[in-house]
Structure 1
Amino acid sequence: MLTILGKSTSINVRKVLWTCAEIGVPYQHELHSSEIARLNPNAMVPVIIDDGQALWESNTICRYLAGQHGRSDLLPTEAMPRAQVEKWMDWQATELNNAWRYAFMALVRGSAAHADAAAIAHSAGEWNRLMTMLDAQLATTGAWVCGDSFTLADIVLGLSFNRWRCTPMTRPALTALQAWAERLDQRPAWRQHGANGIP
């Protein structure tokens, strides 16, 4: 059976839990494990163990699970549709994560190392700018991030959206994002692992 290592409050662990819920993958979940540092040289979660092999990096794990279970609806097999999904997943992991990190650490975590007011404002501004980009994409598709179908891009960006709306800062009113959130609210796995009150 698949084993998932990492506490369920982690945004990256929740990506994997949500993906498993969408697919219906049985798993055992270990909140804390001394094995994490050995299995992942970054000593970060999540880590999965499947068929005796360890895998880390949350977006890679989500791709693996979709591929392993033949869920081409979540991650297409054709080159261009797959690349469109992966493009938004990579954007989430690089551009979007880097934008929100300082503001989130200051405003939600209360980190003493993230107390510079100008840096907080810059981070929040970049975060809002990128969420406006996502809003424009959703306004174009009128449905899900990559078109008419729900994919892994919606999972990883859904969790980023949830963190954005839970952070106490000024945010623009983005109507396509709000409509997307209402569509997500129809998914039990999103309500369990995304919109569950944890930023």
Structure 2
Amino acid sequence: MLKLLGRKNAFNVRKVLWLLDELGLPFEQEDWGRDFRPTQVPEFLALNPFGTVPVLLDGEAVLRESHVILRYLASREHAWSLYPRGLVQRAHVEAWMDWVAYDMTVAMRGGYLGGELGLEPWAQPQFREVGQAEYAKRMGQIDAALADGGPFLCGHEFTLADIPAGFVVHRWFHLSKLPEKPAMPALGAYYERLSERPAFRRHIRNGLA
């Protein structure tokens, strides 16, 4: 039985929960992290010395980092429509996953943690304003990509690319403290398209930002 360690309201844990649901996999889940069991105790650090969630246990295998776990689960289940075996198609999927992990960092810290939640030090004006502008810029890039292709990020099929990206799009539509939010019709249509998926509704568009 798969076991997922990490609180169900954590950004990176919710991505894994979404995929587990998409795949219909049975699993156990334990809440670790903020307001739950601390991840800095020896029991958890023996599994992940970085003390971050999620951690996935699959028999003797211990995996960390949400995007690694997404790729592992799709490969484990031979879910090739989500994670293509062809190297070029797979590279396109991974490019979007890495884009969220790297290019969205400033936007998520300044624009969401600082601008929306008011968490320090990201709530300082220099972080918040840059992050908010960066968030709008990056969402514009997704909007343009979808307008040029779609209906999903890598074409006609829903893939792993849409899980990390779909989550940051969800948060974009929950930002309430931006000075202005430009119209992005392709992005809005994409959000509604993802919302047709029951797993997205259960784990992402479920009342939490």
Number of matched pairs = 199
RMSD, matched Cα: 1.3
> Aligned partners of 1:44 and 1:2: how far apart in 2?
18
Structure 1, gaps ≥5 residues long? none
> Aligned partners of 1:115 and 1:152: how far apart in 2?
31
Note the C-alpha offset of 1:130: 0.8
> Aligned partners of 2:134 and 2:115: how far apart in 1?
15
Alignment map for 1:1-199 (pairs within 5 Å): 1-32=1-32, 33=37, 34=41, 35-168=43-176, 169=178, 170-199=180-209
Following TM superposition, the consecutive aligned residue runs of length 4 or more in structure 1 with deviations greater than 6 angstroms are none
Residue 2 of structure 1 contacts residue 50 of structure 1 at CA under 8 Å; is this kept in 2?
yes
1:153 is aligned with what amino acid?
Answer: A
Which has more helix, going by share of residues?
A: 1
Note the C-alpha offset of 1:31: 0.6
| SS in structure 1 of the partner of residue 8 of structure 2 | coil
The alignment's TM-score, normalised by the length of structure 2, stands at 0.91
> Aligned partners of 1:133 and 1:77: how far apart in 2?
26
> Aligned partners of 1:86 and 1:105: how far apart in 2?
25
| SS in structure 2 of the partner of residue 4 of structure 1 | strand
> Aligned partners of 1:174 and 1:15: how far apart in 2?
24
Measured against aligned partners, the alpha-carbon deviations of 1:83-127 in whole angstroms (never above 9, x if no partner) come to: 000000010111113322122122333223223223211111011
2:22 is aligned with what amino acid?
Answer: E
Identity %: 40
Note the C-alpha offset of 1:184: 0.8
> Aligned partners of 1:22 and 1:139: how far apart in 2?
25
Measured against aligned partners, the alpha-carbon deviations of 1:4-27 in whole angstroms (never above 9, x if no partner) come to: 000011110011000001111110
Residue 75 of structure 1 contacts residue 85 of structure 1 at CA under 8 Å; is this kept in 2?
yes
Note the C-alpha offset of 1:63: 0.3
Residue 47 of structure 1 contacts residue 57 of structure 1 at CA under 8 Å; is this kept in 2?
yes
Residue 115 of structure 2 contacts residue 132 of structure 2 at CA under 8 Å; is this kept in 1?
no
Note the C-alpha offset of 1:29: 0.3
The alignment's TM-score, normalised by the length of structure 1, stands at 0.95
Structure 2, gaps ≥5 residues long? none
Note the C-alpha offset of 1:37: 2.5
> Aligned partners of 2:123 and 2:163: how far apart in 1?
30
